[in-house]
Amino acid sequence: MPIDSFSAGKIYRTSLSNEVVKEIRKMILTGTIKPGQRINEVHLARDLQVSRGPVREALLMLKNEGLVTHEVNRGATVSILSARDAYEIYTFRAMLEVNAIEMGLENLQDEHLQALSHLLERFAQSVQEANAEELIACDIEFHKVIVGLSKHSRLIQAHSQMDSQVGAMFLTIANELPKRVNRVVEIHQILYDALASRDKEKIIQELNMHYLSTLKELESKLKEAHG
């Protein structure tokens, strides 16, 4: 049962495995399957009306996103992200973004600032609509623009490899988004201003601030959730 994805009239060919990846990723990020839960290939395949081959390939890809862990002869389980993981994810992303700025700030064009500005509007709107999914997408997109300035594909790839895990972190605290959410927009506004100033030291300082505060807010939640 091969699948074609349609988008604006143009046909993009994709494999079932890739579609299954999206499906499972969504299940994990929306909490349909929960951290620590084992993933049954047969059941999942049947639910998705697909055979086990694509499911296995999809699980391998999700393993590389860090959403899933794997043991031989025991299969895949949804990753549990600890406070330590949160620390690693955010410090590493901060590190990558700081280095991206250091090596590529001169690539910052007005178009980038426009794109970021537009993202801030989407941010604000998704807050009003209490649309967590959209909020996360904006956050990820925002930081993707920053690392993109480096034009360093391996740096960019290492960064985006953690996108899903960032999404999963958000999920962990999703129940109390409303209170925190306004600060997120504020914080990104500050980052935007720093970028617009094109002052390298300032940007780097704000980046570190940004992630430090994000981490602070997250860690207490995570510790009470599961060590």
Q: Which residue, 60 or 124, is less far from DNA as judged by CB?
A: 60
Chain positions 124 to 183 lying near its own copies, rule: CB under 8 A, are: 152-155, 158, 161-162
- Does position 54 interact with DNA (CB under 7 A)? The reply is yes
Q: 60 vs 140, which CB is nearer to DNA?
A: 60
Please state the closest distance from residue 202 (CB atom) to DNA, in A. 46
The 3-class secondary structure across the chain, one letter per residue, is CCCEEEECCEEEECCHHHHHHHHHHHHHHCCCCCCCCEECHHHHHHHCCCCHHHHHHHHHHHHHHCCEEEECCCEEEECCCCHHHHHHHHHHHHHHHHHHHHHHHHHCCHHHHHHHHHHHHHHHHHHHCCCHHHHHHHHHHHHHHHHHCCCCHHHHHHHHCCHHHHHHHHHHCHHHHHHHHHHHHHHHHHHHHHHHHCCHHHHHHHHHHHHHHHHHHHHHHHHHHHC
120 contacts its own copies (rule: CB under 8 A): no
Establish if 67 lies at the interface with DNA (CB under 7 A).
no
Cβ proximity to its own copies, 89 vs 218, nearer residue: 89
Binding-residue total with DNA (CB under 7 A): 26
Residues that bind DNA (CB under 7 A): 1-3, 13, 15-17, 38-43, 50-54, 56-57, 70, 72-76
Q: Which spans of this chain sit near its own copies (rule: CB under 8 A)?
A: 13-15, 18, 53, 56-57, 60-61, 64, 72-73, 88-89, 91-92, 95, 99, 103, 152-155, 158, 161-162
